[in-house]
Amino acid sequence: MLAAGVIVAVAAITPIVVRWLGNPPDQRLVDLEVYREGGRALLRQARLYDVLTQPPQLLPFTYPPFPALLAVPFTLMSWTAAQWTWTVLEYVALAVIVRYAFRDLLARTGRWAPLAYGVLFGACAWLTPAHDQIRFGQVGFFLMALCLADTMARTAYWPRGALVGLAIAIKLVPGVFLVYFWITGRRQAAVNSLLTAAAASLLAFAWLPSDSADYWFGALLQGGGRTGAVNGTTNQALNGWVARVIPEGPLQTPLWGVLVLAVAYLGFRLARRATAAADGLALPALPPDPSRRWGTDRMLAADPASGEAARSLLLAGVAITGLLSVLLSPVGWIHHLVWVIAVVGALAGDGRDRRRTLLAGAVWLFYLFPVPWWGTHLTGPEHPLILKIAGQLIRDLFGFGAVALMVVLGVWLVNRLGRGDGRPDPARPRDGVGTLTP
């Protein structure tokens, strides 16, 4: 079965790899080239935030200085070797994501688990956000894998929150998990995250003081001026919605601010509600075990005895927070929406609830196609006004879908599994592991 699972997974991703690594050299993994240029700048002691990638892209380094340090090994490889190494590592990270997102479904398949793993891996790899991760050579899989491992691991062999802190040091958007940890009572995890991110950033500051000052007091404040046009279709964040409707001016920023506050309030309340329901369904924590000292900051409801409902609700809270990291950012590109994988996993659970499974399949199907780009094709001057209006709405559908999915997870799924008050639903069948029978 292991061989069958590997064959299915490799067969699924081969067309993706062949397509994007077969692009013209100046069109392959352009974001990886940004990291490599950052690493090269450090080696030749150039100013990190003044360098640009080669024509025709001419992309600047937009990340904190710390990931430039991590990128140095890729500058020592040939461009071909770097592309293949990066792509393999991305798919390793996706494998980690699939493991945490579909743990209960995989457990229920018993001896067929390796084959089921391969099928799920392939299905997730073909989602539009995941497809684009490979196309651009992005870091989204790595950041998501770090956050999922930190929040969903049954036993943490590291200070809980440290992996999220590492993700924040690489890119600021996972900082939403600091709020999540704090409002759900995981205060030590929040402190660990903050300390880890600060330690990594201080390390970069000690090594690259001038570049660090340039970033924290310069490049960071430039926002969309360095990352690209915020009104482009690929920006599915709230800022993108506003920028596509309202011309740049005094009204744009205040309206975006109001939307950010409203969605943040809604999203964090729903994430807290889902996590509280998970904690309510989880079995009481055992006395602290010195061998598991890193996992004693309030059990995360991911232990085997907690049950599928508790684990799905915990994953729902984490997935809502991940979606917030995209929506609240000034730029949330389509490839950042890989958090949809966690949404599908939370909805699917162990696959025994038909309504949940059908909804999970519908979400997967919706994000399988490049829907926003369909809307872009309708906004051209040759189309009548009604089609242009429809096109503008369709351009935002991935972002609209993210908001809707937060409500689905935080309201519908919580009511279905935990009824919002920590009490199990008596209509739900008991959990079973290792069998596909009802």
Summarize pLDDT for 197-215 with one digit per residue, the tens.
Answer: 999 999 999 999 999 998 9
* 84-88, 295-299, 314-318: least confident range: 295-299
Give the tens place of pLDDT for each residue, 14-71.
999 999 998 887 778 999 999 999 999 999 989 999 888 888 888 899 899 999 999 9
CA distance 36 to 71: 6
At 48 the pLDDT is 92
Report the alpha-carbon distance of residue 195 to residue 174 in Å, rounded.
Answer: 14
| pLDDT score at 1 | 80
pLDDT range class, residue 247, cuts 50, 70, 90 = confident
**175 domain residue, yes or no:** yes
pLDDT band per the 50, 70, 90 thresholds, residue 174: very high
Would residue 141 count as lying in a domain? yes
Q: Is residue 432 part of a domain?
A: no
Of 57-61, 81-85, 246-250, 330-334, the poorest mean pLDDT is in 246-250
Asked whether the whole model's pTM tops 0.75, one would answer: yes
| Residues 306 and 104 sit within 8 Å (Cβ to Cβ) | no
Query: Could you give the percent of the chain with pLDDT greater than 90?
Result: 70
Query: For the chain, how many structural domains are there in total?
Result: 1
Does the pLDDT of residue 159 top 60, yes or no?
yes
Residue 51 forms part of a structural domain: yes
9: Cβ–Cβ under 8 A, 6 or more apart, which residues? Answer: 117, 118, 121, 122
- Per-residue pLDDT, 226: 60
pLDDT score for 287: 47
Name residue 437's amino acid: T
Average pLDDT score over the chain: 88
Is position 182 within any domain?
A: yes
Q: Which of the listed ranges 166-170, 279-283, 386-390 does the model predict with the highest average pLDDT?
A: 166-170
Q: Is the pLDDT of residue 145 over 80?
A: yes
User: At what angle are helices 176-183 and 252-281 packed, to 10 degrees?
Assistant: 40
Q: Is the pLDDT of residue 430 over 60?
A: no
Answer yes or no: are the C-beta atoms of 438 and 429 closer than 8 Å. yes
Q: Strand pairing partners for 60?
A: 52
What angle, 0 to 180 degrees and rounded to 10, lies between the N-to-C axes of helices 176-183 and 140-152? 10
Predicted pLDDT at 117: 97
Is 38 within the bounds of a domain?
yes
- The residue range of the domain holding 39 is 2-417
- Per-residue confidence (pLDDT) for residue 221, from 0 to 100: 62
Q: What pLDDT is attached to residue 413?
A: 97
pLDDT at 290: 46
pLDDT in tens, 296-312: 444 454 554 568 899 99
Q: What is the pLDDT of residues 353-363, one digit of tens each?
A: 999 999 999 99
Structural contact between residues 364 and 120, judged by C-beta atoms closer than 8 angstroms: no
From 338, 337, 332, 325, select the one nearest 93 (Cα to Cα).
Answer: 338
CA distance 122 to 349: 18
Mean pLDDT for 211-226 is 73
Q: Residue 437: pLDDT above 80?
A: no
pLDDT of residue 219: 66
Residue 377 within a domain? yes
So what's the pLDDT on residue 353? 95
Band the pLDDT of 2: cuts 50, 70, 90: confident
Angstrom distances, CA of residue 368 to CA of 12, 377, 408, 416: 14, 18, 19, 26
Which of the pair, 419 or 118, is modelled with greater confidence? 118
Residue 314 lies in a domain: yes
Burial of 370 (0-12, 13-18, 19+ CB in 10 A): middle
Read off the pLDDT of each residue in 378-403 and give the average, rounded to a whole number. Answer: 89
Q: What is the pLDDT of residue 378?
A: 87
The yes-or-no verdict on residue 420 having pLDDT over 60 is: no
| Percent of the chain topping pLDDT 70 | 88
* CA atoms lying within 13 Å on the CB side of residue 331: 19
Tell me, what's the pLDDT at 289? 46
